[in-house]
Amino acid sequence: MEDEDSGDVGAGERYEVGQEGLDRLAIAMGGKTILPLASAVLPNLLGEASWEKRHAALIALSQIAEGCTKQMLSQVCVCVCV
């Protein structure tokens, strides 16, 4: 197992478990539940100076995408169509 304190972002068992957990949670609960929560938290992380926080937000967004596809697409369509 890789040392998670070594600074290797994206490596290690905890990182993989976290990703899998977000994926499963989004699929199980659906986009109507997860997307509002993510929309409240992720923009703040994306605006941070720390690249690690921005990286975490992008990974979280990619992990919830499967469970939130319909809602995400509707948001993109609204933004593009306006």
Residue 3 lies in a domain: no
Provide the domain count of the chain: 1
Residue 1 lies in a domain: no
What number of other Cβ atoms are within 10 A of residue 11's Cβ? 14
Residue 4 lies in a domain: no
Residue 46 lies in a domain: yes
How does pLDDT run across 20-78, given as a tens digit for each residue? 999 999 999 999 999 999 999 999 999 999 999 999 999 999 999 989 988 888 877 66
* pLDDT at 63 (0 to 100): 94
Q: Give the residue numbers spanning the domain of 40.
A: 10-81
Residue 43 lies in a domain: yes
Name every residue whose Cβ is closer than 8 Å to that of residue 26 and which is 6 or more positions away in sequence. 34, 63, 64, 65, 66, 67, 68
Residue 45 lies in a domain: yes
Residue 73 lies in a domain: yes
